[in-house]
Each structure stands twice: as C-alpha cells, then as structure tokens.
Amino acid sequence: MTELDEIIERIAALQSKGRSLFDEGLFPAQRTNRLLGYQRPDTTVFFTATIVFTLQKIKHLVSPKSQETINKIAEKAVQNYPAFQNKDGLKTYNFWKTKPSRHFPNGYLFRHFEHFRIPDDADDTAMIYLTSSPTREELLWLKEKLSLHANLSKQQIKNTYLDYRHLKAYSTWFGKNMYIEFDACVLSNILYCIYEYQLPFNQHDRDSLKYIRSVIETDRYLTESFRCAHQYPRAVPIIYHVARLMGTFTIPELEPIREKLIADTQQLLRNQTHPLDEIVLKTSLIRLGTKVESEKWEVESKEWKSVDYGLSSADFKDFYFFIAGLLTAYENPLLYRLAVSPLTQMRWECEAHCWTLVAEYLALQQESR
C-alpha cells in the first residue's frame, strides 16, 4: 500500500460512523476562536462536500483500492445533503442543517438567536451540485437563481471597493433580504460549477471573472485579502481556488494573470512557515503548469511524517481554510473595520480536510512527474 493509499484510508477512518454529534457520513469539524478560548464541534456540510469534491477529482490518479474507498466515502456523504437543503424545498443549500435550523450547533448563545441564522449560500450549493447528480433542469434553475441574487439585480453591493460596485457579479448569499457580497473563492467555485456543467454564459459570469482578475492584478488579494474574500481572507486559499479554476478550464479572461499568479505564489512559498500552506501553494503551482520540487513521505508510529516537514495531524491544529466574520454583514464603516480583527471571527478546522489537501498534492505531484 502506497503513502497515498494510506492517507485516503485515514480520511475514510475520520468520516463519522453516526455516533456522537455527527451523523453518519459527515466529516467532523470544529469552529474556533483560539484568542477567546472558544471551540465547539460543528456539523457543517461544507467540509464533507469539499472533501468529496477534491477526492473525486483525483480519483483517476489513485489505485483501484483507493478509488473504491473514495466511492464509499462519497456514497455515505451525499446521504446527508437533504438535511442541508433549503427549508422550503428549493434546490439551494445551507452551511448548517435547515429543518429545523441548526445554526451554530452545539453552542451556548448564538444558536438561540434568529439574527445569527444564515441564509443558503452559493458556496455550499456549488459544492453539492458538483458532487451529486443534478438534472439539466435543476442546473438551469440554479443559474437563474444565482442571477436573481447577483449585484444590481435587486440591490447594490456596499462592502467592496468603489470600482467594483458596478459589476454584476454573483453574491455569496441567497436570501431575500441578505446583503450582496463578493468573495473571490466563492466566485471561483460558482464559476467552476458553471464551466463543469457547460451552463450558458451571461454578464454575471463575465463580471465575476473581471472581479477575480482585478483583485489579482491590483495586488488587493495580497494586501487586503479580507476585502477580496470575506469567507477565505488569506492569499493562500484565494490562490488555491483561482488556480483550481484556471487549471481545469481554459478561460481567456483569466489568462493575463497566470504569470503574475505564478510569481506571487512562488514568492509566498518562499516566506511560508505553515506546512499546509506550503502544500496548498505547491498544489496551486502544479495546477498553473509549473513544476515543483517533490517531497519524500514516510510513516512513523502510525502518524504521517514528511522527511522535510515532520508533518503529522498535530500540525493541523491551527490551520484554517475559511472563516465567518461576525461583523462582516454590518455596513457601518467602523464595524466593518473591526470585522477584519481575528477577535471578531470564527475559524473552522477539519482534520479530514487537511489530509485531503495532502492527498491532493501527492496525487497531482505524482501526475506531473
């Protein structure tokens, strides 16, 4: 059994068997604010759908045994999707369970207030559509739904740069009264879904690409990551999502930023201290068509360790892929400035997703040799 096989088995072992707080098939996660000593188990569908998506995309690169394991992981995972579907039966999806709402699960305070119940979002919806088997009718319905909630369809975005307020790009959120928000990573996932299923292109798609291209060209994604991606407010995940989109599809509108994105990624790589950020950046370089130095991996005491990193699950403790900014929704300039502070943010962590990122890197590195 190869190292990659071992990692995929490890991911499968982390999938819930239906005991304790997590339904069978979900991947356990937790939300944290370590500055405040806050940590709660979280039954979000996001990591589960993202893990399935990532594993399915590398399935052709792994052994037949691992392919079978990935199929079993996906089969168990997708059974959970209905619990996160829109409360009125529409084919959009929520970060948390919806019937009844289970916002901020296992918490003591926020779960009791309707104010903190979030609407369905385009990010989870895109990931679930990409890991299930939607009909053409459902896909066209989703495309129209996205357009109805895009900027300038009903209202105008306020929490972005002035020169982006005219863009008819997609918003992160569904929901009749929800504010408009641009997030480069969420837009990358929406566009991935649109390209994957070859849905008709419109002005919303073109403007979403313009936004992604501009935040890269202007360096805003490096200097003010939070303003460019409220849910993924670091340059590393922004690069990862944009590179994944560009590495899978030929998108003329994004080609002008390819060399800059490669150069920026290489520069960040030279300054990285967290091993998972390094892995994610190397994965992005491979997707952008650049060779990266291969690593040697070994198993020691049933813990994965890299010869170079000494990587094990203990290294995942402080790694986060996305956040929720508790003050992001407020349009008051002072509150929005406070929203950037880690004190006003919750971070989500998931060991299985971390191992999935490692597996993805190893599979792509193996393919690129």
Pick the more confident residue, 140 or 318.
Answer: 140
- Please tell me the pTM assigned to this model: 0.92
Query: Which of these, 17, 31, 183, 12, lies nearest to 95 by C-alpha position?
Result: 31
Name the more confident of 134 and 292: 134
Mean pLDDT, residues 266-292 taken together: 93
Q: How many other C-beta atoms are found inside a 10 Å radius of the C-beta of residue 264?
A: 20
Task: Identify the pLDDT of residue 295.
Answer: 61
**Most confident by average pLDDT, 96-105, 170-179, 251-260, 326-335:** 251-260
Q: What is the Cα–Cα distance from 332 to 175, expressed in whole angstroms?
A: 21
d(C-alpha 117, C-alpha 80), whole Å: 20
pLDDT at residue 47 greater than cutoff 70? yes
- Choose between 162 and 294: higher pLDDT: 162
The CATH architecture annotation of domain 3-368 reads Alpha/alpha barrel (1.50)
Comparing 127 with 103, which gets the higher pLDDT? 127
Whole-number pLDDT of residue 306: 45
Give me the pLDDT at residue 296, please: 54
The more confidently predicted of residues 2 and 49 is 49
Reading the block at residue 85, the tokens are 């579907």
Let me know: does 359 contact 12? Beta carbons within 8 Å: no
Whether the link from the prior residue into 252 is cis, omega within 30° of 0, is no
What's the average model confidence in pLDDT over 280-301?
78
**Structure confidence at residue 154 (pLDDT):** 93
List phi, psi (to 5°) of 38: -100, 130
Residue 309 pLDDT more than 50? no
Average pLDDT over residues 29-52: 90
pLDDT at 334: 66
In the chain, % of residues over pLDDT 90: 69
Of 121-130, 173-182, 250-259, where does mean pLDDT reach its minimum? 173-182
SS3 category, 121: strand
Per-residue confidence (pLDDT) for residue 333, from 0 to 100: 67
CB-based contact 199:140 (threshold 8 Å): yes
The whole-angstrom separation of Cα 262 and Cα 159 is 28
Interval 341-367: pLDDT, tens: 777 678 889 999 999 999 999 999 998
Q: Running DSSP on this structure, what letter comes out for residue 116?
A: G
What pLDDT, on the 0 to 100 scale, is given for residue 349? 92
| Burial bucket for residue 3 (CB in 10 Å: 0-12, 13-18, 19+) | middle
Dist CA 186 CA 123 (whole Å)? 5
Task: Give the E-state strand segments of 218-277 in sequence order.
Answer: none
Whether residue 368 is predicted with pLDDT greater than 70 in this model: the reply is yes
Cα distance between residue 294 and residue 365, in whole Å: 7
**Does pLDDT of 307 surpass 90?**
no
Q: What is the pLDDT of residues 95-125, one digit of tens each?
A: 999 986 665 666 545 544 454 558 999 999 9
CA-CA distance, 209 to 221, in Å (whole number)? 14
Cα separation, 288 vs 39, in Å, equals: 36
Length of the chain in residues, anyone? Answer: 369
Residue 25 has pLDDT above 70, yes or no: yes
Averaged pLDDT score across all residues of the chain: 89
User: Which residue in the block uniquely carries the two structure tokens 């950046």?
Assistant: 281
Q: What is the mean pLDDT of residues 294-303?
A: 50
Question: Over 90: is that where the pLDDT of 302 sits?
Answer: no
DSSP secondary structure letter of residue 166: T
pLDDT tens-place string over residues 219-256 = 999 999 999 999 999 999 999 999 999 999 999 999 99
Residue 40: both structure tokens together: 């709660």
pLDDT number for residue 345: 75
User: For residues 330 and 100, which has the higher predicted lDDT (pLDDT)?
Assistant: 100
38 neighbors 50 (Cβ within 8 angstroms): no
Q: How many helices (H) and strands (E) does the chain have?
A: 14, 6
What is the spatial order of strands in the sheet that 29-33 belongs to?
Answer: 38-42, 29-33, 345-349, 323-325
Q: Which residues contact 6 (CB under 8 A, 6 or more apart)?
A: 299, 304
* Domains in the chain: boundaries: 3-368
Q: What is the pLDDT of residue 340?
A: 72
Distance CA 190, CA 192 (A): 5
pLDDT at position 215 is 98
